[in-house]
Structure 1
Amino acid sequence: MKSVAFSNTLAEILTGKNVLSQLSVPQLVEKVLQRKEGKLTSTGAVCAETGKYTGRSPKDKYIVEEASTKDLIDWGSVNQPISEESFDKLYKKVSNYLKEQNEIFVFNGFAGADNKSRLPIQVVNEYAWHNLFAHQLFIRPTEDELQTHQAEFTILSAPNVKADPTTDGTNSETFIAVSFERRIILIGGTEYAGEMKKGIFSIMNYLLPQKDILPMHCSANVGAEGDVALFFGLSGTGKTTLSADPNRRLIGDDEHGWSSNGVFNIEGGCYAKCIGLTREKEPQIFDAIRFGSVLENVVIDSKTRLPLYEDATLTENTRAAYPIQAIDNIIEPSIAGHPQTIVFLTADAFGVLPPISKLTKEQAMYHFLSGYTSKLAGTERGITSPEATFSTCFGSPFLPLPATVYAEMLGKKIDEHGVQVFLVNTGWTGGEYGVGSRMKLSYTRAMVQASLEGELTHVETSQDEIFGLHIPLHVPGVPDEVLIPNKTWTNQQEYTDKAKELAAKFNANFKKFHNVPQEIEVNGGPIFK
């Protein structure tokens, strides 16, 4: 199917009598309730369930193998190829289905708060609650911007359209398929709203580097003096908790770009995990869940309609989507200058990484490529002891280009702007999980604060003998003995054995990277080989 035919078919969808375009939040909430897609909670939020799929479907994500992009994409288990023919079949299924619906919902907006590089997008939904999600997660246009808005990428989401693996070239009934030439994302067979958010993030991870902008899976905030900090970290490392600082304003909590002008938020909202949520632990998130917010797979009391955040009956991956304006302490627009500090967060359940380390540029690039944290015993079936987990650039499922592209851009920007980079271990100390104890949050906060305020710039350090990391010997508010990992273990041989075990896992993981400058592997990784 030629691109002209795609444009014509898309125009037919968008001009149909069943199209409800750019509905307001109250209108969308009304539609959700009328169509029985979700329920209203006591806070005024809409709560919907996603059925079979309560998280992303990485094995069902594809990129079309096209002449203009096939030599650029990092093909593999993350970026699976699909033929143009298969994509065209799926597109026909989705477009015909949407045209037949009594109502479909369209949102026009942007990805990227920086006007110079933002991407005009369009989201077409079968479900009203999905369109409300898109309205809250992406950047909402002004009335003037809407008049001249021309989408450069379109999501077509039809959860009730299912693929036939025998004829459509898919692994299952579910598909998230991206065509960069047709500038379309197709989503079918899944009701999980996060596929839309991460679909656009993947697109930005492809497009932004072409503009010499580094896309990043991180949170960002800014201090009173305009000093910007970035926080990278996988689930469970404390990224949300540590970046939500009452003395600093939030730029964004998950996706950012770093251009020649500074940092900008890619999104217009937040998609927060809310399992076990309480006002005491996460007041900003708790209070942001109000009218217009979307709760996903949260169990609610049938009578009071109170959200039961502690209930994981449907999934541990319960979520809340809300506009960033629902948080008080933010910067608007979501744009700031160049970072002075970058913090990589890891929850090391082996208990051997220092609670804080200063990284050289080569170490920063190495640990950025590694993206290490650990899964704990009991978190997943079959895990009986801590397992090392590596997610390239702290976001491997969303990187269409080779990882080294992003790492080299990071290294260049560290050099250009004299950025200080720290590795902070929010995991275990004095022994591995089950033996040692979790690092005190008060200590971690003190270490992060010291790094942001420049108190560690000229501090005396010692080099870790196994990982090669530079450990500050003094941090205000933290006992000196806590800073050196082996000093917190009672059995030194056990510490050495466990540290070497983790170092070997780092070394083994790094072998998957190709064309990495030798100085990164030699000077960035563990000394122990």
Structure 2
Amino acid sequence: MIMETKHPNPFRADYFLAAASSTIYLNQDANTLVQQTLDRGQGKLSDTGALCIQTGKFTGRSPKDRFIVRDKFTENTVDWGEINIPIAPEIFDNLLEKMEAFIQDKELWVRHCYAGANPSYRLHVTVINTTPWANLFCHHLFLRPAVDDPENDQQEWTILQVPEFLANPAIDQTRQENFTMINFSKKMILIGGSAYTGEMKKGIFSVLNFILPHQYNVLPMHCSANEGEQGDVALFFGLSGTGKTTLSADVNRKLIGDDEHGWADDSVFNFEGGCYAKCIDLHPDKEPQIYAAIKHPTLLENVGFFSGTNKVDFSDAGITENTRAAYPIDHIKNAKEYAVGNIPKNIFFLTCDAFGVLPPIAKLTKVQAMYHFLSGYTAKVAGTEVGVREPQSTFSACFGRVFLPLHPTRYAELLGKKLDAYPEVNVWLVNTGWTGGAYGIGKRISLHHTRAMVQAAIQGHLTDQPYTRHPHFGVLMPKTCPGVPVEILNPRNTWKNKEAYDKQAETLAKLFVQHSEQYQAEASQEIRNASPGLIQKV
């Protein structure tokens, strides 16, 4: 059983706020929020007019400190474990009571907004923050209702974000002083101890990942999306460093969104109203659209500056490598105003394969698409993390495992149903990593060539090309592609030592098999049939 979403929030934010003794700023515009931040000494302006702030102790999400209330609505539906950590309802209630008392005499910034550009699946959100810049983030990242929108005062979900409030782990049963708690019965998200704004964005994404598949047969997706002149939609899935944002930013196509979308029966739609882009080493030549978007009133988090100036040094990782820019989607010149598109025509699963095994582009069957979606593979390279000296495989189911309240196979099966309903959809596996050898021996696949392959797929130039089947993964590799050297299309051909390639391919295939073993009990037979381990035996 799951509760309906279209009814008033059991926790009425307006009732609570009416009783509070705080100074409350409701639905402030972006310029006001920037000025309020500056007036309180909480930020500074860059030379382009962006508001630069620091989020303090936490410069990224803390997945081990995210909890879901375990009650009658979630007990038999949530995939409990290390990702979805249960917390008792009474613990949540006690924390809420303490947080309400804590903010009684504080300034509060409140915003009514929503998630979901398609009105049929809109989720109304009321956000309560204790800093103006956190509310500015919500202004940018959530969708902003029109002033005369009759649904403006609807309240479904509430986010209460109070970074100054610290939990007592001994009493509150948290792991440490910071926490994020999602309560599906009370339709609330509590955030304490962390000022990292991404916790709010991903909290609502997790809520949608729970509600949409259950109630509406909508597939929530951690992907970017763009649209061509003929209304053809392309989706780009990929973990950090695979090129998702870079490849979806195309001056010749309209951007629907860069991170979170839903696939309904008749459309693909953005969940958000803005972008939250990583900006470490940002350069105008490589990512001109993102670079140009960083202007007033963009929110820049944890960036450094060139000495003695207010000019941002995007190469400065002194605070964190996870520097971020939050801006409204209309900062991207070719963003689509109404962020809803048609059923996708092409889907790209991006992987940065540091083993040098996977082809630069390959076509997937439906079952292969389900399998690779469930795998969510990429690889880390030496130097990205302490102790990483050689390529390491990384798997994140559905390219966003930490945001999935339901079992990952539920989303993979729903993807399969979508592909059954729309057999004309093409699914591609794109390797933006290494060729000619693993990291340290081979070289990174040219971004120019990757763009050419993606464009060829989108324009239909690969449809009638002859294909070769990969011997270990079974995916179909085109023998030719416009604008791309023939010799790089089959990765084995790029290795001087063919036997070394075969050995590396066998190693990677085994890693895929080992990862997928955890899903065997829940996965359908057709997903299991796409395993590289079975392909090698055929």
Same-fold status (TM-score > 0.5) = yes
**Contact preservation (8 Å) 1:41, 1:47:** yes
- Say whether 1:142 aligns with 2:149: no
- Say whether 1:528 aligns with 2:531: no
> Which of 237, 243, 264 does residue 238 from structure 1 map onto?
243
> Which of 324, 327, 345 does residue 322 from structure 1 map onto?
327
CA distance in 1, matches of 2:166, 2:530: 49
> Which of 25, 29, 51 does residue 24 from structure 1 map onto?
29
Q: How does 1:57-68 map to 2 (within 5 A)?
A: 57-68=62-73
Map of 1:204 onto structure 2: 208
Cα deviations by residue, 1:337-361 (Å, 9 ceiling, x for unpaired): 0001100000000001111111000
**Contact preservation (8 Å) 2:452, 2:483:** yes
Cα deviations by residue, 1:250-281 (Å, 9 ceiling, x for unpaired): 00000000111210000000000000112111
SS of alignment partner, residue 232 of structure 1: strand
Cα deviations by residue, 1:424-458 (Å, 9 ceiling, x for unpaired): 00100010000000001111111101111111122
SS of alignment partner, residue 155 of structure 1: strand
Map of 2:478 onto structure 1: 472
**Contact preservation (8 Å) 1:32, 1:128:** yes
- TM-score, scaled to structure 1: 0.97
CA distance in 2, matches of 1:5, 1:137: 22
The alpha-carbon distance between structure 1 residues 246 and 87, as it changes in their structure 2 partners (threshold 3 A), is same
Map of 2:59 onto structure 1: 54
- Say whether 1:417 aligns with 2:422: yes
CA distance in 1, matches of 2:307, 2:156: 43
CA shift at 1:14, angstroms? 5.0
CA shift at 1:10, angstroms? 6.3
Map of 1:276 onto structure 2: 281
CA distance in 1, matches of 2:151, 2:81: 41
- Say whether 1:345 aligns with 2:350: yes
Map of 1:179 onto structure 2: 183
- Say whether 1:261 aligns with 2:266: yes
**Contact preservation (8 Å) 1:114, 1:335:** yes
**Contact preservation (8 Å) 1:292, 1:322:** yes
CA distance in 1, matches of 2:437, 2:144: 48
**Contact preservation (8 Å) 2:470, 2:476:** yes
Q: How does 1:59-208 map to 2 (within 5 A)?
A: 59-101=64-106, 103-145=107-149, 148-208=152-212
CA shift at 1:7, angstroms? 3.0
CA shift at 1:13, angstroms? 2.8
**Contact preservation (8 Å) 2:61, 2:198:** yes
Aligned length: 526
The alpha-carbon distance between structure 1 residues 4 and 148, as it changes in their structure 2 partners (threshold 3 A), is closer
CA shift at 1:303, angstroms? 3.7
Map of 2:3 onto structure 1: none
Map of 1:489 onto structure 2: 495
For 1:511, give the aligned amino acid: E
- Say whether 1:438 aligns with 2:444: yes
CA shift at 1:301, angstroms? 3.9
CA distance in 2, matches of 1:250, 1:162: 39
RMSD over equivalenced CA pairs, Å: 1.6
SS of alignment partner, residue 512 of structure 1: helix
For 2:118, give the aligned amino acid: D
- Say whether 1:382 aligns with 2:387: yes
Unaligned 5+ runs, structure 1: none
> Which of 487, 492, 515 does residue 522 from structure 2 map onto?
515
CA shift at 1:5, angstroms? 12
**Contact preservation (8 Å) 1:251, 1:331:** yes
Identity %: 52
Moved more, 498-507 or 36-45: 36-45
**Contact preservation (8 Å) 1:218, 1:256:** yes
Cα deviations by residue, 1:456-512 (Å, 9 ceiling, x for unpaired): 122211111111111111111112111111111111121111111110000000011
CA distance in 1, matches of 2:474, 2:318: 44
SS of alignment partner, residue 136 of structure 2: helix
Cα deviations by residue, 1:19-53 (Å, 9 ceiling, x for unpaired): 11001111111110111111111111111111111
- Say whether 1:40 aligns with 2:45: yes
**Contact preservation (8 Å) 1:347, 1:427:** yes
The alpha-carbon distance between structure 1 residues 24 and 146, as it changes in their structure 2 partners (threshold 3 A), is farther
SS of alignment partner, residue 131 of structure 1: helix
CA distance in 2, matches of 1:197, 1:473: 42
Map of 1:11 onto structure 2: 15
For 2:400, give the aligned amino acid: G
> Which of 244, 253, 266 does residue 248 from structure 1 map onto?
253
CA distance in 2, matches of 1:8, 1:110: 16
For 1:440, give the aligned amino acid: S
CA distance in 1, matches of 2:31, 2:478: 53
**Contact preservation (8 Å) 2:125, 2:157:** yes
- Say whether 1:501 aligns with 2:519: no
For 2:54, give the aligned amino acid: E
> Which of 308, 314, 317 does residue 312 from structure 1 map onto?
317
